[in-house]
Structure 1
């Protein structure tokens, strides 16, 4: 038996392949191919546009897939959310669907969009948002280059942004956030009812989430004199408690902990001053709580 999995081709492809590699899955794809090989005989992978994946999962053509919440909503797909995977093309932050206008536009709020023309790839999501705010506007599908259409072709756009830098670079101003979206591992409802496929997806979820969790953390090892241990433990963070083991025929101990990488820069000098020696920092592949 195999689980047929849809992965996003395009802007999110490289980040997805890197995540799978960290989780233990080697994906290889030839140029112009849509069917990567993977070092798991129980997985069959298909590459396609993230916009289409929820529809094929909904229809049962795919057992499961990775795509953003925005595209699940746009396709009105009735799927099972297996895992929330917070990663994007360039960062580990959620992306946003925002409404933006030209910097010098008279449009200041969503209410000002009444009767205006808006371009977007997410037509249904945008229309629902406007309707919920009591705004009647014309929403048209954009086939690309959405940001350059303001103000010459449309009055506003609803577009995905990760950092907001592209919006600013095109002299646009955000007036509202329609939704915040993250990548979702989602499954077809019938596939989720199959015990084998459900377990396979749950296992995949554990590994992918563990890989993401590890990205912000590192391991730290050190040797500490026994009479300095209390001082070290006062400043040393840990996921639960540090691991402490006695060195052979010595009054020294080895201390090991997992912590946020951002803490290490200031922590290591403090540990050194506190008496720690042989300090080693090392990266992590997965963190499974």
Structure 2
């Protein structure tokens, strides 16, 4: 049996649809299940439903053979896993945003983000020194309450930025979801994993 860690929400829905197109018979109730571990015995698959940032951790430590994770998570977490396929689903991008017509503080600019590692690298490559403030949710609040000059966050439609009166300043990187694998599983379950990769590759 292959164990696959997947995040709930949009990535899960699109990944489940991808697997169905690859001729995996997944039950419809999988999409609405409140369970955190779901077995699909007739396909020899087990799904762990996790927070997006935790998927790569489960795969690295071997509690999941495979995982479906956004490239943003892979860049931020730098986990010791193999990246097998760009699934091309859940496309979005990392961007710098803030209040319109507002210059950054020249003395000690502050950037709020869920992605401190990616953000730090981005500004270091630009030769700019900034203070990174790590937040876990509602990043858009930071410029509104004066906590930060800018935010770095995932942008999908841009509606959340607009609704909060923010504008995009720079695009950092396009993000899609990737199929990742545990290094040991890649050897011990090579046949099953190769079969899944070929079936998915055939329809992307």
Do Structure 1 and Structure 2 share a fold, with TM-score over 0.5? Answer: yes
Give 1 or 2 for the bigger CA radius of gyration.
Answer: 1
* Residues 147-183 of structure 1 deviation map (CA, whole Å, 9 limit, x = unaligned): 2322323211101012333323322222222222111
Q: Which residue of 1 aligns with 2:169?
A: 175
In the aligned structure 2, how far is the partner of 1:42 from the partner of 1:120? 39
**RMSD value, Cα:** 2.1
Contact kept, 8 Å, 1:114 with 1:136, in 2: the verdict is: no
Q: Which residue of 2 aligns with 1:98?
A: 95
Q: Report the alpha carbon displacement of residue 15 of structure 1 after superposing the two structures with TM.
A: 2.1
Contact kept, 8 Å, 1:100 with 1:173, in 2: the verdict is: yes
Where structure 1 has 5 or more consecutive residues not aligned to the other structure, the ranges are 89-93, 214-289
Q: Report the alpha carbon displacement of residue 31 of structure 1 after superposing the two structures with TM.
A: 4.1
Q: Which residue of 1 aligns with 2:122?
A: 129
Q: Report the alpha carbon displacement of residue 59 of structure 1 after superposing the two structures with TM.
A: 2.0
Q: Which moves more between the two structures, 46-55 or 138-147?
A: 138-147
Q: Which residue of 2 aligns with 1:50?
A: 52
Is 1:7 matched up with 2:6?
yes
Summarize the Cα distance change of 1:193–1:136 in structure 2 as closer, same or farther, 3 Å threshold.
Answer: same
Q: Secondary structure at the match of 1:37?
A: strand
* Residues 13-37 of structure 1 deviation map (CA, whole Å, 9 limit, x = unaligned): 2222222222222144364211123
Q: Which moves more between the two structures, 198-207 or 64-73?
A: 198-207
Q: Which moves more between the two structures, 200-209 or 122-131?
A: 200-209
Identify which of structures 1 and 2 has the higher relative contact order when contacts are C-alpha pairs closer than 8 Å and 6+ apart: 2
1:154 alignment partner, one of 139, 144, 148: 148
- The normalised TM-score by structure 2 is 0.87
Is 1:204 matched up with 2:196?
yes
Pairs within 5 Å for 1:276-287? none
In the aligned structure 2, how far is the partner of 1:173 from the partner of 1:95? 16
In the aligned structure 1, how far is the partner of 2:144 from the partner of 2:119? 18
Q: Which residue of 1 aligns with 2:18?
A: 19
Q: Report the alpha carbon displacement of residue 199 of structure 1 after superposing the two structures with TM.
A: 2.5
Where structure 2 has 5 or more consecutive residues not aligned to the other structure, the ranges are none
In the aligned structure 1, how far is the partner of 2:22 from the partner of 2:107? 47
* Residues 262-282 of structure 1 deviation map (CA, whole Å, 9 limit, x = unaligned): xxxxxxxxxxxxxxxxxxxxx
Summarize the Cα distance change of 1:40–1:183 in structure 2 as closer, same or farther, 3 Å threshold.
Answer: farther
Contact kept, 8 Å, 2:11 with 2:177, in 1: the verdict is: no
Summarize the Cα distance change of 1:40–1:75 in structure 2 as closer, same or farther, 3 Å threshold.
Answer: farther
2:70 alignment partner, one of 68, 71, 82: 68
Q: Secondary structure at the match of 2:53?
A: coil
Summarize the Cα distance change of 1:202–1:114 in structure 2 as closer, same or farther, 3 Å threshold.
Answer: farther
Contact kept, 8 Å, 1:114 with 1:135, in 2: the verdict is: no
Q: Which residue of 2 aligns with 1:83?
A: 85
Q: Secondary structure at the match of 1:146?
A: coil
